[in-house]
Chains A and B, each alone.
Chain A
Amino acid sequence: MRRIRECEESLVEPINKGEVRTPCHLYSGQEAVAAGILACFKAKDNVFGTHRSHGHFLAKGGTMRQILAEIFCRETGCAKGRGGSMHLVDPEKGMLGAAPIVGGTISLALGAALAAHIRGNKAVSAAFFGDGATGEGAIYESLNFAALHKLPMLFVCENNLYATHMPIRACRNNDCIARIAEPFNIKTFRIDGNDVLEVLKAAEEAVALCRAGKGPVFIECLTYRLRGHVGPDDAIQGIHTDIRPAEELSAWREKDPIVRFEKYLLAGQLLSLKELAAIKRKVQAEVADALAFARRSPRPAPRDLEKYVCK
């Protein structure tokens, strides 16, 4: 969680200065979801993400250098500067990809689960998506098919209460998203997505069910993004478009998943303040190194424009 947070916050200045131009949908505030779910994943398990997938990439084992170089659109990035912030990929680590067509990767994760089902290798696949994606038809098609074949798949909805600028109640007549899986007889969790231990507990149970051939599982994580929909504060074109009430934002800041987990660690004497500070310093050094790496890396050469159209 700390690695994700420091990565995201390190991008605020480069975005505001125009040094980073690729649209960055920062994950600050939602770290407990990626960290909790993917702590239960092995290397063979697969993940598909969305436009807001910096956290999924890092939690699935992607390196800080590769993600930041990609966000700086450099040849050394995880997608060689061809994908940018919204197409993070690391196939060797099981981060099969991310894409910003809302709901578009849910069926891709369904396919990865189908591949595991055909091969019988007990790999689990996860689709991460937001509350906005539940407006797309493909999710219902995917839920039905996954349930029909008992596929080893986690549908992980990160309900951050806003589809871009639209509050959930302006998009849905029912704000309990978990209920969409019930008609398909899918095991469902609705949990506090800012409590990493609660996420971990649900994920452990869900992954075990999938490996036992009792998938799929739907997990709705209630969470909140502390930054804008895109960019630090949704003001990239000079207009402040974040319409979320200030009191709502500050209430959610109180529920910051990292602060809460640190309190838990301190209360249980699992880690000391000193040790937490050391972790933070270490992560900040990792981020500083990766930022320097990204900045000194070359951009893709113009002569390579059409490389990678076909394999």
Chain B
Amino acid sequence: MSANRRLSYSLAINEALHQCMAADKDVFLIGQGVKSPWYVGNTAQGLLKRFGEKRVIDTPVSENAMTGAAVGAAIAGMRAVIEHPRVDFMLYAIDPIINEAANWHYMSGGRSNCPVVIWGIINRGGEQAAQHSQALHAMFAHIPGLKVVMPSTPYDAKGLMVAAIRDNNPVVFLDDRWLYRDEEAVPTKIFSVPIGKAAVRRRGKDLTIVACSYMARESVKAAAELAKQGVDAEVIDLRSVKPLDKAAILRSVKKTGRLLIADGGWKSFGISAEICAVVAEAGVKLKRPPVRLCLPDCPAPASMSLEKVYYKHCADIVKSTQKLLK
């Protein structure tokens, strides 16, 4: 069963937590709603029963101090996972994340470090409006000292959570509720996916689509659509936003000469701009100007009629490639 055992994205995260906590007694989980599927789906199921209340800690609504406590425990030698049921709520914790965790190793001259996983769940759609929907990966990726990972598949969800927990630095782990029910074969044993390495999801010669998280999954679907139209697209799934696998992007773009970036974040000053800059600085000659498919510079709306034009999916990716292929 082990080779072909299928697992959902959310249960892959759950398995990573189970295995890491079993393997290392310094690993613990703290966060709002870890006792409640309402907050975290089934990602935390069974943990409390197996590891007890000292290592699986549901918290008062105090994002700032709870994140600081995770950071402080990590500095004191633990491996902490602090969970935020929505990225939006994490904004109360920007001080411990950016001022403290990200800077800690540097400002101690390497004497001290902070192995904390800051796990934020992106939870969009459903007419939830602007404060229940934000994806802020670009903001965290801007900060020296933070790593940012965004798995798009169950395999990576498990492997990147394990890698994040084992990493000696603060890692922002952002998952997406839109992916929670995706299933695929995931090894039962513990394994990690290297942080900072992109995955080529589909090889192709006509154009490169760079994406991460939900948009990477949609890009794979879009590439299949494009294949039916005779277009051979290559899909690069970043997996890690920071460190950014520049080599993987450049290798692909040099081959295809056409670049589409599909990002679930806002367009301005986001990762799509960064990727364009990486390609421009490397002097890669493109056959067409790059195309960016991102969220418009607009807060998330509530009404379904507006959500429909706000969020981007497979069909939008297919449509966006037209400009590149003219």
Contact = CB atoms under 8 A, between A and B. Distances in A.
Given A80-B109, A311-B110, A141 B60 contact: yes
Interface in A94-114: 96-97, 99, 101, 104-112, 114
A105 B106 CA distance: 16
Nearest to B68: A107
Interface string A113-127: 011111000000100
Contact of A114 (B62, B67, B69): B69
Interface string A69-105: 0000000011111110001011100001101010011
B105 A144 contact: no
B147 A111 contact: no
A163 interface: no
Interface residues of A, number: 44
A141 B105 contact: no
A286 B55 CA distance: 45
A145 to B, nearest CB: 6
B316 to A, nearest CB: 35
B8 to A, nearest CB: 29
B277 interface: no
B302 to A, nearest CB: 28
B95 A101 contact: yes
Contacts of A46: 76
A52 B66 CA distance: 24
B100 A101 contact: yes
Given A104-B99, A107-B68, A83 B108 contact: yes
Contact of B109 (A82, A109, A148): A82
Nearest to A79: B109
Nearest to B74: A111
Contacts, number: 150
Contact of A144 (B54, B62, B107): B62
Given A111-B69, A141-B62, A307 B77 contact: no
B73 A111 contact: yes
Interface string B46-86: 00000000110101101011111111111111101000000
A135 to B, nearest CB: 14
A81 to B, nearest CB: 7
A214 B55 CA distance: 20
B145 interface: yes
A83 B109 contact: yes
A46 B111 CA distance: 15
B113 interface: yes
B27 to A, nearest CB: 10
Contact of A107 (B64, B74, B104): B64
Nearest to A77: B109
Contacts of A144: 60, 62
24 contacts: A78-B111, A79-B108, A80-B109, A82-B106, A83-B109, A97-B75, A101-B95, A101-B99, A105-B100, A106-B65, A106-B68, A107-B64, A107-B65, A107-B68, A110-B69, A111-B68, A114-B72, A118-B28, A141-B62, A141-B64, A142-B69, A144-B62, A308-B109, A311-B169
Identify the 5 closest CB pairs spanning chains A and B, nearest first.
A111-B72, A107-B68, A80-B109, A108-B72, A141-B65
Interface of A: 46, 48, 77-83, 87, 89-91, 96-97, 99, 101, 104-112, 114-118, 125, 137-138, 141-142, 144-145, 148, 307-311
